[in-house]
Structure 1
Amino acid sequence: MLKRKFARLPVALFAVLAIVGAQTPALAHDVRTKAASCWFHLMSGANAKYVSARGNLAGYPLQANTEYPPGTWESFCLESQGYDVFAIWSRTTGKYVSVRANVTNYPLRANADFVGPWERFTIQYSGDGTTSYLSLATGKFVSAKMNLSNYPLQANADEIGTWEKFWTADE
């Protein structure tokens, strides 16, 4: 009798896992769930270089320092958070771009596992075809700092100038 009860255990366990697995949504930060149409490259309007997340260095800041052609390190995906708010996901790190709102002049990094207040942006479209990104955490625009080595991105500009303009290109 005992042997018969345990014989059914693998079948029951498989059925439970199949049901749970079917109800569990895919993780938002899983590259397999990204639509092919969401990928794009970001180029600084100030120096015409691509924004890179440098996947080989953990916690490395986003920088506008990559020449043509862009690669995986320069691949990003916009995820709608509703109400014209977006999160930016890095293909190379598998994480969201984050602004450390509690640290002054902290560079953006693609190191957040989930979308919280520091990972939310709105997009401003300019008449010249460029886009600018306003951090909801700081209330300031993302800027490619041309006066700093390797041109790190920071969300600390009060208004849109050349350093705050970016060109986008689909992958």
Structure 2
Amino acid sequence: MTTNFIGLPKEGAAQLANELNDLLANYQILYMNVRGFHWNVTGSDFFELHAKFEEVYDQLLIKVDEIAERVLTLGHQPLHSFSEYLMHSTIEEAVDVRDGGQGVDHLLAGYQVLLTKQRRILSDAANFGDEGTAALMSDYVSQQEKESWMLAAYRSRSHN
């Protein structure tokens, strides 16, 4: 078995890099969606959602950089064009969303996509002995599960 410069099996690193690139594409589309929600939100929840969406897109941007750097650490190249992101992303662009509740719903749906992908990467990383990728995914899953719970609680309040 041949290993890469960080001691992981080359084939496993390639598989994980592909999965991380897919995840990166989804993060980039979700980031742009949430940025749009922040810019365009209107209504009675404007102040709290405008601030919340900014907090979320700041966190998404940090993760975009971390994922791209992890792909590089595995010895591969991260996707870096929006045409590639659109091609690889399961999350679709959300255009002209002004209603804050719809923005939150889109965000929750996006988190569901990310959580599913991250759990799969976490499992695959563990199988290949890639503690670095596993730790990153574990942190993301934990944070997004809590964020999803809080957003779902917010949405149940706003539906009453």
Give the TM-score normalised by the residue count of structure 1: 0.26
By relative contact order (CA 8 Å, sep 6+), the higher-ranking structure is: 2
Larger radius of gyration: 1
Of Structure 1 and Structure 2, which has the larger fraction of its residues in helix? 2
Of Structure 1 and Structure 2, which has the larger fraction of its residues in strand? 1
